[in-house]
């Protein structure tokens, strides 16, 4: 017998699409991390991290944010990654096995650098 005060949980289409996009973001981030570790030749003292991946609802592209330490090497590393974009895209296409694989677009995520500047300014005030 069904209770009258309970409402069954229903997945709305928006919830399913949101979860699917979040899963796609994390899957691309993980796969790119593995591929970049093996395939990219970075300068000796550079640390490259994928800070975020954003895929829009139409799965047309994946905006991949790169965090580079030291930040002074960011443009150099971005050029290296963009030069290898075709090869990275090919690896992602092969690994994901989905109907529509988003096109990779890389950018430098400078949010950590901006946060560091704000922290230095706050330290000067204190």
3-class secondary-structure state, position 66 = strand
41/18 Cα distance (integer angstroms): 35
The pLDDT of 8-15, averaged and rounded, is 64
User: Which residue ranges make up each domain of the chain?
Assistant: 13-125
How many residues are listed for the chain in this entry? 126
The pLDDT of 100-115, averaged and rounded, is 85
Q: What is the pLDDT of residues 22-67, one digit of tens each?
A: 998 999 999 999 998 888 888 888 888 899 999 998 888 999 999 9
**pTM, 2 dp:** 0.76
Taking CB atoms within 8 Å and a gap of at least 24, the contacts of 68-71 are 68/108, 70/45, 70/46, 71/110, 71/113
Secondary-structure class of domain 13-125 per CATH: alpha beta
pLDDT of residue 123: 83
């Amino acid at each position: 017998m069904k209770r009258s005060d309970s409402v069954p949980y229903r997945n709305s289409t928006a919830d399913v699409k949101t979860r699917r996009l979040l899963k796609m973001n994390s899957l691309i981030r993980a796969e790119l991390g593995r591929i970049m570790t093996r395939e990219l030749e970075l300068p000796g003292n550079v640390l490259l991290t994928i800070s975020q991946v954003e895929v829009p609802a139409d799965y047309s592209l994946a905006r991949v944010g790169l965090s580079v330490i030291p930040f002074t090497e960011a443009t150099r590393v971005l050029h290296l990654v963009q030069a290898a974009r075709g090869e990275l895209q090919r690896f992602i296409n092969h690994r994901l096995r989905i109907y529509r694989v988003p096109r990779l677009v890389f950018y430098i995520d400078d949010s950590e650098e901006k946060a560091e500047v704000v922290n230095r300014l706050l330290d000067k005030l204190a």
